[in-house]
Amino acid sequence: MSLRDLVADTLRTLWAHKLRTFLTMFGIAWGIVSITLMLAAGEGLSVAQRRNMETFGKDIMIVNAGRTSLQAGGARAGHRLFWEAEDAAFIQQEALDCDCVVPELGNGAPVRSATNSATLTVSGSHPPFARMRSIPVGEGRFYSWEDEALARRVAFLGTDVKNQLFAGRPAVGETIHIGPFPYTVIGVMQRKEQNSSYDGFDVGKIFVPFSAMLRDFPNKPPATPHSVDRLIVTPRSYQQHAACKWQVKRALGRLHSFDPNDEEAAGFWDTVENARNVRRMFEYMEYFMGAVGLATLFLGGIGVMNVMLVAVRERTREIGVRKAVGATRRAIVTQFFVETAVIVLLSGAAGMAFAHGLCALVNSLPLPSSFAGMLAGWGPTLVSFGLLGVLAAAAAIYPASRAASVDPIEALRFEPGG
């Protein structure tokens, strides 16, 4: 019997037992749907989480000054620390594994335009701050190193600030007063989603050059006039993150006379470490979801094996006739292998098509920023088809061997239901 005839005979046999075949195929299809949807949902959540974290800043460390808990260099423990404006330049020279180190100073101030006023957060830093903190430019420009060198009174507005001070009117080129000082608006941020912050979301801030901020709005006592709120650091690469972090601690320890091992002296908000932990959490979640899908698929495989064993019993007389007229053991095994493969592959293909169609439907709907969609990549698809092949072979081995071992004489005497 040719392969074509064998497949046609298999389809006729399956059609003759439609309900049993459907229920068997449903178990396999549901296993494939489960694996695909669970992994797709997990990937969508993981990608969205990474994107949201990058709106705050990609691979950055926020370094806050604390209070010493260890004695060092003759200084007593419990000493309050303040980072200074010059610290960033010193750390940049000392920390060779760090790509960029900038200071940040932020204070609340009354702000007014020609039509409205409010009390807003004003933040000053160096020009790389926009890149480090993922602040996109929507109109105009961010302040430059020239603005910083000349301490120009120029301002870059968050989208909410622009709407509050100017409503629907253009803001670039207009003058606002921050406290008693006139600042020229040079740019407006592009709207962005942000899921974390340390002193308020960026859309509600005004950004000015650090030199202008330090001159016009310095920190008040007990902080020193040249103190800053925090330092922002990026490593040269993901692999250099740990070395960069240690070098920053060591440089700050030299500047402010504390032990670099003092965890209380310098507090790190480490987005690199946070991203690693989040990635690990989602990996574990995907492993769990995949395991649930595999369990469902395994149960479907047991169902296929049971159905094929029933088919062997029901077709004992047919098998005996075929062997009596010359069918070989290999032909009988091949027949049941093909029947099992057809059931598994057809149900797997149907499940895969349904799962990808459902993913496409979900992705066509409006989605929240916390979910990137059902991302069913080629990886899970290929793995699923590989599993289907293994499942088909495993489910066919025992029933096919049972069919091939049927004794022709006993089979011809067999009466169904007997």
Q: C-alpha angle 401/403/407, rounded to 5°?
A: 110
List the structure tokens of 239: 């692999």
Identify the helix (H) or strand (E) that includes residue 185.
strand 181-189
List the structure tokens of 36: 């695909």
Tell me what pLDDT residue 185 has: 96
Query: Are residues 355 and 400 located together in one domain of the fold?
Result: yes
Query: Are residues 290 and 259 located together in one domain of the fold?
Result: no
Query: Are residues 109 and 249 located together in one domain of the fold?
Result: yes
C-alpha to C-alpha distance for 128 and 297, rounded to whole angstroms = 52
Q: At what angle do helices 316-324 and 271-314 cross, to 10 degrees?
A: 70
Instruction: For residue 390, give the nearest of 291, 298, 303, 290 by alpha carbon.
Output: 298
Query: Are residues 178 and 74 located together in one domain of the fold?
Result: yes
Query: Are residues 334 and 408 located together in one domain of the fold?
Result: yes
Query: Are residues 186 and 128 located together in one domain of the fold?
Result: yes
Query: Are residues 80 and 23 located together in one domain of the fold?
Result: no
Tell me what pLDDT residue 138 has: 93
Query: Are residues 347 and 379 located together in one domain of the fold?
Result: yes
Q: What is the residue type of 389? A: G
> With left for phi above 0 and alpha for psi between -120 and 50, is residue 285 left, alpha or beta?
alpha
Phi and psi for 107 in degrees, rounded to 5?
Answer: -145, 155
Query: Which one of 229, 264, 299 terminates a domain?
Result: 264
Burial label, 238 (beta-carbon count in 10 A; 0-12, 13-18, 19+):
exposed
Tell me what pLDDT residue 183 has: 97
Is residue 270 included in any domain, yes or no? no
List the structure tokens of 401: 């061997």
Is residue 418 included in any domain, yes or no? no
Mean pLDDT in each 10-residue stretch from start to end of the chain (418 residues)? 66 73 77 80 78 74 89 70 94 94 94 92 96 92 96 96 92 95 96 80 94 94 89 91 93 90 88 76 75 73 72 69 73 76 81 87 82 76 70 70 68 54
CA 320 from chain centre, in angstroms, equals 58
Q: At what angle do helices 316-324 and 329-363 cross, to 10 degrees?
A: 130
Query: Are residues 120 and 244 located together in one domain of the fold?
Result: yes
Instruction: For residue 406, give the nearest of 304, 325, 308, 329 by alpha carbon.
Output: 329
What is the count of structural domains for the chain? 2
Query: Are residues 97 and 236 located together in one domain of the fold?
Result: yes
Query: Which one of 230, 264, 298 terminates a domain?
Result: 264
125-182 pLDDT, tens digit per residue, is 999 999 999 899 999 999 999 999 999 999 999 999 999 999 889 999 999 999 999 9
Burial label, 15 (beta-carbon count in 10 A; 0-12, 13-18, 19+):
exposed
Domain that holds residue 151: 67-264
Query: Are residues 106 and 19 located together in one domain of the fold?
Result: no
362-418 pLDDT, tens digit per residue, is 888 888 777 788 887 766 666 776 776 777 677 667 776 776 676 666 655 555 554
pTM of the predicted structure, to 2 decimals: 0.67
Query: Which one of 264, 288, 314 terminates a domain?
Result: 264
Tokens 């979640």 found at: 285
Query: Are residues 163 and 72 located together in one domain of the fold?
Result: yes
Tell me what pLDDT residue 161 has: 95
Is residue 62 included in any domain, yes or no? no
